[in-house]
Amino acid sequence: MNRSKFKVDIRCNPIHVAEVQVTHRMSPRFYFIPQTRAIITSLLLLILALPCFSQQDWIRTGTGLGVEKIRLAVPDFKPSNQDPKNPELLKAFNDTLWNDLDNAGIFDLVSKSFNPLEVPGQPTEVKFEVWSAPPPNASMLAFGNLGVSGNTVMVQGWLYDVKNVTSPQVLGKQYTDVATTDAARLIAHKFADEIIFRLGGGVQGIAESSIYFVSDRTGHKEIWAMDYDGSNQRAITHLGSISLSPRISPDGSRLAFSSLTKTSWEIMMYSLELGRAVAFPRFGGTNLSPAWAPDGTRLTFSSSRTGTSEIYMVDASGGSLKRLTNAKGPDVSPTWNRKTGAQLAFVSGRSGLPQIYTMEADGTNVQRMTDQGYAVSPSWAPNGQFLTFSWMRKYGPGAPGSNDIYLMDIASKQWVQLTHDGGRNDFPSWSPDGRHIVFQSSRSGSEQIWTMLADGTKVQQLTFTGHNTQPNWSWK
């Protein structure tokens, strides 16, 4: 009848930015290594005597449980003039701003139906007492105006602390861009990121980040890109072959992926600045799953050039080939410790079914992380503390196997299951702020791309056309 409260601090640099609290019943699913208990600093285990609901074997979790989220009111921005293009751009702007702030997972947004009839477009129009009192009961208010004149759009936005009447302004911004809905969306992303940066503990927002993925909607598997919220989906490659495993470089300038040629699978390099493929050596055999070191100077990937698939490292131009692993089973899907750049996690079939392993970037100190089942597709959290991966824990005849996304604390090997909603869930990839995870799931009937908060809540579908797989979130 005990339920444990499993608290995970997601830390970035020294600043404490967010808390993801995970409640979980003590059960065999809860994996714990006693020896390392003492050194766990990031995980706090509080045993609470709570009634147990016998039917459910997992507990839905939430961000900042027990911590009050900032209550933020975001009334629609108002037109600042009478231009006929205003309504279209305003709609794109308001929808994007709302979604960005909602997706951030750190705000309690005031439902728009609670807003007073008259919303402000200028600082002079703000009536503090209307916003700070119920029903809005807001602590913060984001408001502003948008106006098109000729070919340009101008947006003014403010963030007010409505409980601090004497000096309310937290933020005041003005943006100018070409008068298109794409530009309006971009401005909304930028403004949202400013708000998240100010109120979210100093972590850069992700509203301007991108997700790269594989889509077959043209009939061939090509590499595609989209904004983090699923808008602006566009094809990057047009190779007409099979292209897989896109990995964006840390500076966002180059995209490494794997593509089927006539005789082999090769690592390809695409320059997003030049808009074309750039030279990269071909190694022969099956070359897969490239992964960028966080400083962008090195890549690891899996190659079968000498037989079994092993992990190799090259510099950013493909030179100085160096082999890191040497095992009987296949080694694939390396991912770098994004914080230190000194360790790698990867998948190996050396002991049978594939499991997650870690090692130093020179190939030493190989450690097995998962203890059973079928574990693949690791992604290392930006804070360096967590791995997320796809796991079919109980694999075998008669086992109700489902692939789910799991989060593991690397130091303690404690894990928690993030997805529970059926389908095959694979290829998790962390958002730059470490608060979100993008992944592929078949829960809707076909393979599509979804995002969620790093505690498994706020699940959203981003793609709907064709089959979309292997998402990779940009580094910033």
Partner 1 sequence: MKLQKIKWITLMFALGAVLMLGACKKKVAPPPPPAPPPPPAPTASLSASPNSVPKGQPTTLSWQTTNATDVSIDGIGAVQPNGSQQVTPADSTTYHLTAKGAGGTQEATARVTVAAPPPQAAVPSATEEELFSQSVKDIYFDYDKADIRPDQRAALQGDAQFLGQHPNIPFKVEGHCDERGSTEYNLALGTSRADAVKSALTQAGLPANRVNTISLGKEQPFCNEHTEECWQQNRRAHFVYQK
Among 157, 250, 294, 330, binds partner 1 (CB under 8 A): 330
CB 202 within 8 A of CB 191: no
Least separation in angstroms between residue 301's CB and partner 1 is: 10
Which tokens belong to 121? 């477009």
Pick the closest to residue 475 from 360, 341, 285 (CA basis).
Answer: 341
353 sits near partner 1 (criterion: CB under 8 A) = yes
By CB under 8 A, which span of 33-41, 191-199, 286-294, 460-468 interacts with partner 1? 286-294
308 sits near partner 1 (criterion: CB under 8 A) = yes
By CB under 8 A, which span of 1-9, 37-45, 200-208, 373-381 interacts with partner 1? 373-381
The single-letter code of the amino acid at 37 is R
- Cβ distance to partner 1 smaller for residue 12 or 356: 356
354 sits near partner 1 (criterion: CB under 8 A) = yes
- Cβ distance to partner 1 smaller for residue 210 or 243: 243
By CB under 8 A, which span of 194-202, 229-237, 319-327, 347-355 interacts with partner 1? 347-355
Least separation in angstroms between residue 151's CB and partner 1 is: 45
Residue carrying structure tokens 């279209």: 88
- Cβ distance to partner 1 smaller for residue 424 or 476: 424
Question: How far is the C-alpha of 278 from the C-alpha of 316, rounded, in Å?
Answer: 12
Among 40, 170, 260, 459, binds partner 1 (CB under 8 A): 260
CA distances from 224 to 35, 221, 300, 334 (A): 45, 9, 22, 21
By CB under 8 A, which span of 46-54, 130-138, 262-270, 318-326 interacts with partner 1? 262-270
Which tokens belong to 194? 């400013």
Question: How far is the C-alpha of 243 from the C-alpha of 258, rounded, in Å?
Answer: 6
- Cβ distance to partner 1 smaller for residue 100 or 426: 426
- Cβ distance to partner 1 smaller for residue 308 or 372: 308
- Could you give the strand order of the β-sheet that contains 468-473, starting from the edge strand earlier in sequence? 234-235, 222-227, 210-215, 468-473
Among 80, 156, 377, 379, binds partner 1 (CB under 8 A): 377
What letter would DSSP give residue 230?
S
349 sits near partner 1 (criterion: CB under 8 A) = yes
Q: Are β-strands 415-417 and 425-430 bridged in parallel, bridged antiparallel, or unpaired?
A: unpaired
Least separation in angstroms between residue 277's CB and partner 1 is: 21
427 sits near partner 1 (criterion: CB under 8 A) = yes
Peptide bond into 135 cis (omega under 30): yes
470 sits near partner 1 (criterion: CB under 8 A) = yes
Count of residues near partner 1 by CB under 8 A: 34
CA distances from 263 to 283, 424, 453 (A): 11, 31, 41
By CB under 8 A, which span of 13-21, 169-177, 205-213, 303-311 interacts with partner 1? 303-311
Which tokens belong to 57? 């074997």
Residue 287 CB partners (closer than 8 Å, separation 6+): 258, 264, 265, 266, 267, 301, 302, 303, 304, 305
356 sits near partner 1 (criterion: CB under 8 A) = no
Least separation in angstroms between residue 460's CB and partner 1 is: 23
Site for partner 1 in 187-226 (CB under 8 A): 221
- Cβ distance to partner 1 smaller for residue 99 or 309: 309
Among 204, 286, 372, 461, binds partner 1 (CB under 8 A): 286
336 class by beta-carbon count within 10 Å (0-12 exposed, 13-18 middle, 19+ buried):
buried
- Cβ distance to partner 1 smaller for residue 131 or 427: 427
By CB under 8 A, which span of 18-26, 134-142, 180-188, 280-288 interacts with partner 1? 280-288
Site for partner 1 in 219-258 (CB under 8 A): 221, 242, 244-245
Least separation in angstroms between residue 376's CB and partner 1 is: 4
398 sits near partner 1 (criterion: CB under 8 A) = no
Question: How far is the C-alpha of 454 from the C-alpha of 437, rounded, in Å?
Answer: 6
CA distances from 18 to 117, 348, 386, 435 (A): 34, 33, 15, 8
Q: Are β-strands 243-248 and 254-260 bridged in parallel, bridged antiparallel, or unpaired?
A: antiparallel
How close are the terminal C-alpha atoms of the chain, in Å?
Answer: 44
Question: How far is the C-alpha of 197 from the C-alpha of 190, rounded, in Å?
Answer: 10
| 3-state secondary structure (DSSP) of residue 191 | helix
36 sits near partner 1 (criterion: CB under 8 A) = no
355 sits near partner 1 (criterion: CB under 8 A) = no
Least separation in angstroms between residue 418's CB and partner 1 is: 17
Residues of this chain that interact with partner 1 (CB under 8 A) are 221, 242, 244-245, 260, 263-265, 285-286, 288-289, 302, 304, 307-309, 330-333, 347, 349, 352-354, 374, 376-377, 390, 426-427, 469-470
